[in-house]
């Protein structure tokens, strides 16, 4: 089996208000795994847009929302990776049940609804 190269593009991006969670797939000694980075875009004094990694009190509710959404996405996709390596999920016998419920219409605190930008 050929080793997969790490993705140079994120596998998913979640946004809530001004807060962004970017999910990456990496490959380590034990195989592929997912990692998440969190950022808050801001305009610096010269007018250039940058991504900050510090969050103020008003950002924390949105940060919690994208962190929770990232965790659910990663759990669902890690389970798919695991199932694929074991020959797939079996729907009979009740051995394994996956529930992935992130309602994008629910919103996140006082912010806009959570947005997914999945690239794969």
Better pLDDT: 79 or 26: 26
Q: Is the pLDDT of residue 89 over 50?
A: no
What are the sequence ranges of the domains in the chain? Answer: 12-87+95-116
CA torsion 6→9→10→14, rounded to 10°? 180
pLDDT at residue 34 is higher than 50: yes
Tens of pLDDT, residues 67-78: 999 999 999 988
Count of beta carbons in the 10 Å neighbourhood of residue 110: 9
d(CA 26, CA 22): 13
Contact 113, 105 (CB under 8 A): yes
- DSSP assignments along 65-89, one per residue: HHHHHHHHHHHHHHHHHHHHHTT--
Phi-psi region of 107 (alpha: psi -120 to 50; beta: other; left: phi over 0): left
Q: Is the whole model's pTM more than 0.75, yes or no? A: no
In terms of Cβ atoms closer than 10 Å to its own Cβ (0-12, 13-18, 19+), residue 114 is: buried
């Amino acid at each position: 089996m050929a080793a997969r190269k790490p993705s140079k593009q994120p596998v998913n991006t979640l946004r809530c208000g001004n807060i962004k969670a970017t999910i990456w797939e990496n490959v380590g000694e034990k195989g592929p795994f997912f990692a998440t980075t969190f950022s808050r875009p801001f305009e610096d004094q010269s007018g250039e847009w940058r991504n900050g990694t510090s969050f103020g009190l008003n950002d924390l509710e949105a940060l919690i929302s994208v962190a929770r959404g990232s965790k659910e996405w990663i759990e669902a996709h890690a389970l798919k990776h695991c199932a694929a390596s074991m020959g797939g999920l079996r729907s009979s016998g009740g051995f394994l049940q996956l529930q992935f419920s992130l309602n994008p219409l629910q919103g996140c605190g006082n912010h806009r609804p959570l947005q997914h930008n999945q690239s794969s």
